[in-house]
Amino acid sequence: MKKLTIFALVAVLAVGFSVVGLAAGGPDTLVIGTTDRVTQLSPANSYDHYSWHVLRMLSDSLLKIKPQSTEVGPALAKDWEVGPKAKVYTFHLREDATFTNGDKVTAEDVKWSFERAMKLDGPEGGVFLVGDPIDKMEVVDEYTLEVTLVEPNATFLKRVTGQVGPALVWNKNGTPADEFAKGELVGVGPYKLQKYQPNQSVIYEAYDDYYGGAPEMSTVIELKYSNSTGLRTALEAGDIDIAFRTMNPVDIEELEESPDFETQHTPNSPSVRYMLFNVTNEVFKDERVRRAVTYAVNRNKIAEQVFSGLADPIYTMVPKGWVGRMSTFPKQDLEKAEMLLESAGYTADDPLEVTLWFTPKHYGTTEADVAAVLQGSLNELDNLEVESKSLEWGAYTERMASGGFGMFLLGWYPDYLEASNFLEPWTTGSPEGLGTFFNHHPNYDAYKKIMNTAKSIPGAERRGTLYESVQILSAQDVPFIPLWANLAQAYVVYQPNVENIFVDATMDIRTWDITKK
Alpha helices in 240-333, H assignment, sequence order: 249-256, 287-296, 299-301
Q: Of the candidates 275, 299, 479, 249, which has an alpha carbon nearest to the alpha carbon of residue 358?
A: 275
Q: What integer is the mean pLDDT of 500-504?
A: 90
Is the model's pLDDT at 476 over the cut of 70? yes
| 249/228 Cα distance (integer angstroms) | 10
pLDDT at 25: 56
User: Is residue 224 classed as helix, strand or coil in its secondary structure?
Assistant: strand
Which residues on neighbouring strands pair with residue 263, listed in sequence order?
493
| Domains of the chain, start order | 1-37+199-268+488-517 (3.40.190.10), 58-181 (3.90.76.10), 272-486 (3.10.105.10)
Q: What are the distances in angstroms from CA 200 to CA 57, 203, 493?
A: 17, 10, 20
Helix pair 287-296, 334-343: axis angle to 10 deg: 160
Q: How far is it, in rounded angstroms, from Cα 170 to Cα 331?
A: 48
In which band, very low, low, confident or very high, does the pLDDT at 3 lie, cut at 50, 70 and 90?
A: very low
Residue 352 in contact with residue 316, Cβ under 8 Å? no
Q: What DSSP state is assigned to residue 428?
A: I
Instruction: Give residue 361's pLDDT.
Output: 85
Distance, in Å, from the CA atom of 468 to the CA atom of 190, rounded to the nearest integer, reads 39
Alpha-carbon 102 to chain mean position:
32
pLDDT in tens, 236-283: 999 999 999 888 888 999 999 999 999 998 888 999 999 999 999 999
Average pLDDT, the chain: 92
Closest CA to 49 of 165, 188, 157: 165
Give pLDDT, residue 5: 39
- How much of the chain, in percent, has pLDDT values that exceed 70? 95
Give the C-alpha separation, 70 to 270, whole Å.
11
Q: What pLDDT, on the 0 to 100 scale, is given for residue 247? A: 87
Q: Are strands 191-197 and 201-206 parallel, antiparallel or unpaired?
A: antiparallel
Q: Is pLDDT at 445 greater than 60 in this prediction?
A: yes
In this predicted structure, the answer to whether residue 4 has a pLDDT above a threshold of 60 is no
CA distances (Å), origin 309, targets 217, 252, 261, 409, 517:
35, 11, 20, 20, 33
* Residue 106 amino acid letter: T
85 — pLDDT class (breaks 50, 70, 90): confident
Q: Are strands 352-358 and 407-412 parallel, antiparallel or unpaired?
A: parallel
Specify whether the CB–CB gap between 42 and 125 falls below 8 A: yes
User: Tell me, what amino acid is at 465?
Assistant: T
d(CA 296, CA 385): 12
Q: Tell me, what's the pLDDT at 14?
A: 39
User: pLDDT band for position 1 (50/70/90)?
Assistant: very low
Convert the pLDDT of each residue in 271-320 to its tens digit.
Answer: 999 999 999 999 999 999 999 999 999 999 999 999 998 999 999 999 99
The span from the CA of 84 to the CA of 225, in Å, is: 50
| DSSP annotation string for 167-200 | GS---TTTS-SSS--TT----SSSEEEEEEETTT
Q: Using CA atoms, how far apart are residues 371 and 391, in angstroms rounded to an integer?
A: 13
- Is residue 385 within 8 A of residue 398, CB to CB? The reply is no
244 strand-pairing partners: 492
The sign one gets for the Cα dihedral 423, 429, 431, 434 is negative
With a CB cutoff of 8 Å and minimum separation 6, the contacts of 82 are: 88, 89, 157, 458
Give 32: exposed, middle or buried? Use CB within 10 Å, 0-12, 13-18, 19+. buried
What percentage of the chain carries pLDDT values higher than 90? 83
Give the separation between CA 44 and CA 509, rounded to whole angstroms.
Answer: 23
How many CB atoms lie under 10 A from the CB of residue 21?
A: 11
Q: Which residues contact 20 (CB under 8 A, 6 or more apart)?
A: 4, 12, 13
User: How crowded is the C-beta side of 43, counted as CA atoms within 13 Å?
Assistant: 35
Please name which of 323, 279, 302, 278 lies closest in space to residue 461, comparing C-alpha atoms: 323
- Per-residue pLDDT tens over the stretch 397-434: 999 999 999 999 999 999 999 999 999 999 999 999 99
The pLDDT of residue 267: 80
